[in-house]
Amino acid sequence: MIKVNYKTLMQQRRLGNKLYVMEAIRSLDEAIDMICEVLTDEEQKDPFAEDLCPYFGILWPAAEGLAIYFEEHPELIKNKTVLELGCGLGYPSLVATHHGANVLATDFHPDVEEYFLRNCRHSSLNCEYMRLNWREDQQDIGLFDVVMGSDVLYESKHASEVAKGLIRFLKPGGKIILSDPGRNYLQPFLEAMKKEGFSEESDLIKVQDKEVFVFVFSKN
């Protein structure tokens, strides 16, 4: 496994009476250049090399929007089992943990665990982590009251496959909560969830100068 010592910075966000401190990658472009320096030309041509790009290391607006939404609606997660898919730096998982959720944070990138656990320590919170590629892995990790994710609709993968991939982790009567910056694949995904028998409630969260959609899906 390639090990790159990215240059980082500390980012702070206050929600309510809680200060969250997250260690993030200083510059995505700089980090990608660092990866290219350690990969051979052949390795760079490998389509799987893109999976090593440290997109996880940025505090994206969709993650901030989901975190803000949980701060405004803690009843959705309090005392619930919660699975975060593609957690990255883990901001929504940290907020959910603070509000009494039993969270399992997951991601497929090999470097995420180190950063996520650091951010738990920086924010004085304890949260479980597991490496998981939810789009590909078929391992049984149990069912959860809430399945959440931020900006997970960035690929052109068939919307129905993504919907089924999320639903397979959900307990009967549970909720899927997703945030999205308005990706092109959002509408096909909403239609796929409807075909699976789910209705949605939506909200619009302001994150600095951007707007983030948050959807709460429930089985009809």
- Same domain for 110 and 133, yes or no, is yes
Q: What is the pLDDT of residues 53-101, one digit of tens each?
A: 889 999 999 999 999 999 999 999 999 999 999 999 999 999 999 999 9
Where does residue 46 fall: left (phi above 0), alpha (psi -120 to 50 degrees), or beta otherwise?
Answer: beta
Q: Is the pLDDT of residue 40 over 70?
A: no
| Percent of the chain residues past pLDDT 70, beyond the cut | 92
pTM tops 0.85: yes
Count of domains forming the chain: 2
Q: Is the pLDDT of residue 3 over 90?
A: no
- 105 touches 125 (CB < 8 A): no
Q: b/e map of 205-215 (b: 16 or more CB within 10 Å)?
A: bebeeeebbbb
Q: How far apart are the first and last CA of the chain?
A: 44
Considering the domain boundaries, does residue 3 fall inside one?
A: no
- 86 touches 134 (CB < 8 A): yes
Considering the domain boundaries, does residue 119 fall inside one?
A: yes
Q: Is the pLDDT of residue 29 over 60?
A: yes
- Same domain for 182 and 105, yes or no, is yes
Q: What is the mean pLDDT of the chain?
A: 91
Considering the domain boundaries, does residue 1 fall inside one?
A: no
Considering the domain boundaries, does residue 35 fall inside one?
A: yes
- Same domain for 36 and 69, yes or no, is no
Query: Would you list the DSSP string of 42-69?
Result: HHHHSGGGGGGS-GGGS--HHHHHHHHH
Q: Is the pLDDT of residue 49 over 70?
A: no
How many other β-carbons are positioned within 10 Å of the β-carbon of residue 142? 9
- Same domain for 65 and 100, yes or no, is yes
Q: How confident is the model at residue 47 (pLDDT cuts 50, 70, 90)?
A: very low
- Same domain for 51 and 142, yes or no, is no
Considering the domain boundaries, does residue 2 fall inside one?
A: no
| Full residue range of the structural domain in which residue 42 is found | 8-56
Rounded mean pLDDT, 94-123: 97
- Same domain for 45 and 98, yes or no, is no
Cα gap 114→59, rounded to integer Å: 16
